[in-house]
Amino acid sequence: MTVAQRSTRVSTTLDAERPETGVGLIPGRVGAGRPRRRSVVGLGLGLAVLALLACVTAAPGLFTGVDPNAVDLRQTLRAPSGDHWFGTDQNGRDLYARIVYGARPSLLIGVGASLLALVGGVVVGVLAAQSNSVVDQVISRLLDIVMSVPGLLLVFLIVAVLGTGSTNAAVGLAVVGLPGFARVTRAEVIRVRSCDYVEAAHGLGWSKVQVVVRHVVPNTVGPIVALATVGLGSMIVASSSLSFVGLGPRPPTAEWGAMLAGSRNYLEVAWWPAVFPGLALTVAVLAVTVVGERIQGLTR
Amino acid sequence: MADLLTSTAPRDEGLDGTPGGGGRRRLGAPLARLVLTRVLASVAVLWGAVTATFFLLELMHGNTVDVLLAQSQAGPEVRAEIISRYHLDDPLPVRYFAYLGRVLRGDFGESYMLRKPVWQAITEQLPDTLVLVATTVLTTVVASVLFAALSATRRRSLRSVVAAVESLVVAVPPFWLGLVLLTVFSFWLHWFPAIGSSAPAGLVLPTIALAAGPVAVTTRVLREGMVRALDEPFVMTARTRGISEPAVRLRHTLRHALLPATALLGWISGSLIGGAIIIETVFSRRGMGRLVLSAVQNRDMPVVIGIVLVAATTFVIITVLVDILTWFIDPRTRT
């Protein structure tokens, strides 16, 4: 078994581990009682946070009237107060405003990378499944090669080639995510293709492209969406990590990872610049994860 | 961990109903076949990776010279000298095989920025990173087995609390956890040395920051495996023989839970290689982080590619080792 096949097996093992099913001697207890209620609360909270984040991302101006990049050197590193809810940073910029305006770059790199990986992976996966065995083999081996490089290092390589910045960081992350989607898509397409309704569509004289677009792709969507939602949280963490080490959006863009990087030199005198952006990031990732796991549960 | 397994193996074989419980002498040939196929596949993948980096460098050539000359007002003769010095004008196949040969010897060329061999730059920084990764792996294994054994219970309320804590820990970005640990334990409490320390005590906080996520994920997988195994008939058999609860957990259920957890090891090691680089930045530690990040920012491609290939090789070797480990843990995979 190759490296990449190995990894897919890891993920299937994980998927198999996840459901809270008491399989075995007590099958009747599956999802009964309190745990279900608790997870509904969790889901509600997750959805509420996601809705809030969507609003903040779309219209940060509604949440603060302060300019996130307004430098005030008389107000540097002020502790949280009525004037500055989350305090100010080393340049006297209001941290609350920067976190609000930072939502867009912080979240959109990860979301964009996931979408790019999904679209690219689906195209490659369908191509591999629908091609002859030589093309299929070539694509699979190329995916093996991409997957042989640890994710973050592959991003470093791509950013080194393309240069730093938000778009290039997203492209790098997308390349790392693509093989997973391609593999799942390929496997799903091969599974769906042998279904009766696909055979029937062929029998009715539909063209290959029509069948793929109308029948095969819609029926492979479930596992692919599940993969995307579950991976989104780690994509967001990865993109903020890139900003943290200076490979993301350029300053003075308010991005949570970059803000945390800026806080590093002042930890001794000010805890707030190191805490609030990270808190925002954690809450966002947690919300995405909670909702993502639910979507994964639904699509199974 | 391996000791634990081998020592308990003979006792388990009859009970868990797995085939292949025969003598160890017959295992040699299938194991050799497994190792051989995995190694060959890995070599092919790595060869592909090296080839890919070669073409990447090819595509960037104009760029490379520009990067080298970016800071200076050099004339065309300097440019020509650099082209000939790095053999940038040989025919493509010649350069490819020369490149392949050099990479095989561990010669990744010379850093444009540091003006020294890439291999030397890497070996100077590698030990610090390896120490951090090693302590993290060790922490992950010990802590997750411990936590899983303690939290593997049928009580759903307790399990859902533990699961919630795990989800929270997984959601916390490691670099932020590192910053918070630094603030609290170095700057407020002064328990651990602050930024830039290479003393052993300086390893504690980076290890915690890096291990937290893997510990949470591994604990979850181990626990769910153990809870499932607790319902298996062989556990009941073991209990009827009067084996104590800790023994049931460590000898019988843990082994079943180890299989999915071992499969995770490959994924974790891949993420640790990248994660260590980020954590080193948080704590301003010496190591690969500083080297690779400055190389990426300066587009010092020989260094970036050297590190990528070293990391890929390490990752692939670990994956093969995980396969072999799986083979030892679970007799059912020996077909």
Q: What is the pLDDT of residues B216-243, one digit of tens each?
A: 999 988 888 888 888 888 888 888 888 8
- Asked whether residue A280 carries a pLDDT value surpassing 90, the answer given is yes
C-alpha triplet B169, B266, B143: angle, nearest 5°: 45
Q: Flag if B156 and A29 touch (Cβ within 8 Å).
A: yes
- pLDDT-derived band of residue A190, with 50, 70 and 90 as boundaries? confident
Paired strand residues for B223:
none
Using a CB-CB distance cutoff of 8 angstroms, which residues of chain B are in contact with residue A159? 296
pLDDT at site B1: 38
Residues 6+ apart with CB under 8 A from A202: A211
Asked if residue A211 belongs to a domain, the reply is yes
DSSP per residue over B2-53, as a string?
A: HHHHHHHHHHHHTTTT-S--S-GGGGHHHHHHHHHHHHHHHHHHHHHHHHHH
Q: Closest Cα to residue A183, out of A120, A133, A238?
A: A120
Task: Assign residue A260 the CATH number of its domain.
Answer: 1.10.3720.10
pLDDT at site A175: 95
Asked if residue A133 belongs to a domain, the reply is yes
Determine contact, residues B263/B334, Cβ cutoff 8 Å: no
- Asked whether residue B147 carries a pLDDT value surpassing 70, the answer given is yes
Paired strand residues for A88:
A94
Q: Closest Cα to residue B43, out of B273, B325, B316, B318?
A: B316
- pLDDT-derived band of residue B181, with 50, 70 and 90 as boundaries? very high
**Is A151 near chain B, with CB under 8 Å?**
yes
d(CA A81, CA A52): 23
Using a 10 angstrom Cβ sphere, with 0-12 exposed, 13-18 middle and 19 or more buried, the burial of residue A162 is middle
The ipTM value here is 0.81
Asked if residue A216 belongs to a domain, the reply is yes
- Asked whether residue B16 carries a pLDDT value surpassing 70, the answer given is no
- pLDDT-derived band of residue A26, with 50, 70 and 90 as boundaries? very low
Instruction: For helices A133-147 and A3-17, give the axis angle rounded to 10 degrees.
Output: 80
pLDDT at site A2: 39
Asked if residue A10 belongs to a domain, the reply is no
**Domain membership of residue A246 as a residue range:** 95-299
- Asked whether residue B91 carries a pLDDT value surpassing 70, the answer given is yes
Residue of A nearest to B190 (CA): A268
Please, which residues 235-254 of chain A have a Cβ atom closer than 8 Å to chain B?
Answer: 237, 240-241, 244-247
Q: Flag if B167 and A159 touch (Cβ within 8 Å).
A: no
- pLDDT-derived band of residue B197, with 50, 70 and 90 as boundaries? low
Write the residue in B48, B194, B274 that is nearest to A153 by C-beta.
B274
- pLDDT-derived band of residue A276, with 50, 70 and 90 as boundaries? very high
Using a CB-CB distance cutoff of 8 angstroms, which residues of chain A are in contact with residue B329? none
- Asked whether residue B23 carries a pLDDT value surpassing 70, the answer given is no
Residue ranges of E strands in chain A: none
d(CA A273, CA A300): 41
Question: How many Cβ atoms from other residues are within 10 Å of residue A205's Cβ?
Answer: 7
Using CA atoms in the order A71, A76, A79, A85, what is the torsion angle rounded to 10 degrees? -10
Using a CB-CB distance cutoff of 8 angstroms, which residues of chain A are in contact with residue B276? none
Using a CB-CB distance cutoff of 8 angstroms, which residues of chain B are in contact with residue A246? 293, 297
| pLDDT tens, residue by residue, B5-14 | 333 333 333 3
- Asked whether residue B74 carries a pLDDT value surpassing 80, the answer given is no
- Asked whether residue B104 carries a pLDDT value surpassing 80, the answer given is yes
- Asked whether residue A14 carries a pLDDT value surpassing 50, the answer given is no
d(CA B54, CA B29): 37
Using a CB-CB distance cutoff of 8 angstroms, which residues of chain B are in contact with residue A160? 295-296, 299-301, 304
Q: How far is A34 from chain B (nearest CA, A)?
A: 8
| pLDDT tens, residue by residue, A219-249 | 888 888 888 888 899 899 999 999 999 898 8
Q: State mean pLDDT over A278-298.
A: 88
Tell me the whole-structure pTM to 2 decimals.
Answer: 0.81
- pLDDT-derived band of residue A6, with 50, 70 and 90 as boundaries? very low
Determine contact, residues A113/A235, Cβ cutoff 8 Å: yes
pLDDT at site A33: 38
- Asked whether residue B15 carries a pLDDT value surpassing 60, the answer given is no
- Between A99-113, B30-44, B69-83, B200-214, the lowest mean confidence (pLDDT) is in B69-83
Paired strand residues for A147:
none
Using a CB-CB distance cutoff of 8 angstroms, which residues of chain B are in contact with residue A24? 228, 231-232
Determine contact, residues A56/A100, Cβ cutoff 8 Å: yes
- Per residue, the 3-state secondary structure of A56-109, as one string, reads HHHCHHHCCCCCCCCCCCCCCCCCCCCCCCCCECCCCCEHHHHHHHHHHHHHHH
d(CA A124, CA A136): 10
Paired strand residues for B110:
B117
Please, which residues 5-44 of chain B have a Cβ atom closer than 8 Å to chain A?
Answer: 37-38, 41-42, 44
- pLDDT-derived band of residue B335, with 50, 70 and 90 as boundaries? low
Q: Flag if A278 and B176 touch (Cβ within 8 Å).
A: yes
Question: CA of B71: how far to CAs of B14, B81, B82, B83, B114, in Å?
Answer: 71, 16, 14, 17, 14
pLDDT at site A51: 94
- Asked whether residue A118 carries a pLDDT value surpassing 50, the answer given is yes
| pLDDT tens, residue by residue, A36-67 | 455 678 888 889 999 999 999 998 888 888 88
Place of tokens 């609860």: B245
Using a CB-CB distance cutoff of 8 angstroms, which residues of chain B are in contact with residue A275? 180, 183
d(CA B75, CA B292): 30
Mean of all residue pLDDT scores within chain B: 80
Give the total number of structural domains in chain A.
1
Please, which residues 207-266 of chain B have a Cβ atom closer than 8 Å to chain A?
Answer: 220-221, 224-225, 227-228, 231-232, 260, 263-264, 266
Tokens of A177: 């995510």
Q: Flag if B160 and A25 touch (Cβ within 8 Å).
A: no
Handedness of CA B52, A181, B273, A234 (dihedral sign): positive
- Asked whether residue A281 carries a pLDDT value surpassing 60, the answer given is yes
- Asked whether residue A35 carries a pLDDT value surpassing 60, the answer given is no
d(CA A6, CA B325): 13
Please, which residues 62-121 of chain B have a Cβ atom closer than 8 Å to chain A?
Answer: none
- pLDDT-derived band of residue A275, with 50, 70 and 90 as boundaries? very high
Q: How far is A241 from chain B (nearest CA, A)?
A: 7
Looking at this protein, which amino acid is placed at residue B13? E
Q: Flag if B273 and A13 touch (Cβ within 8 Å).
A: no
Residue of A nearest to B165 (CA): A286
Tokens of B14: 């009859």
- pLDDT-derived band of residue B65, with 50, 70 and 90 as boundaries? low
- Asked whether residue B82 carries a pLDDT value surpassing 80, the answer given is no
d(CA B21, CA A270): 61
Q: Closest Cα to residue B272, out of B128, B127, B124, B134?
A: B134
Tokens of B292: 């690779």
Determine contact, residues B67/B299, Cβ cutoff 8 Å: yes
**Is A263 near chain B, with CB under 8 Å?**
yes
- Asked whether residue A136 carries a pLDDT value surpassing 80, the answer given is yes
| Coil/strand/helix, residue B117 | strand
pLDDT at site B17: 40
CB pairs under 8 A between A and B: 200
Question: CA of B164: how far to CAs of A23, A85, B201, B220, in Å?
Answer: 21, 29, 31, 11
Place of tokens 């050539």: B61
| pLDDT tens, residue by residue, A160-186 | 888 888 999 999 999 999 999 999 999
Asked if residue A3 belongs to a domain, the reply is no
| Coil/strand/helix, residue B110 | strand
- pLDDT-derived band of residue A125, with 50, 70 and 90 as boundaries? very high
Q: Flag if B273 and A150 touch (Cβ within 8 Å).
A: yes
Determine contact, residues B266/B319, Cβ cutoff 8 Å: yes
Handedness of CA B187, B144, B131, B270 (dihedral sign): negative
**Is B60 near chain A, with CB under 8 Å?**
yes
Q: Flag if A156 and B160 touch (Cβ within 8 Å).
A: no
Asked if residue A261 belongs to a domain, the reply is yes
pLDDT at site A86: 87
d(CA B92, CA B58): 9
Asked if residue A180 belongs to a domain, the reply is yes
Start-end of H helices in A131-165: 133-147, 151-162
pLDDT at site B73: 65
Place of tokens 């805490």: A275
**Is A27 near chain B, with CB under 8 Å?**
no
Asked if residue A223 belongs to a domain, the reply is yes
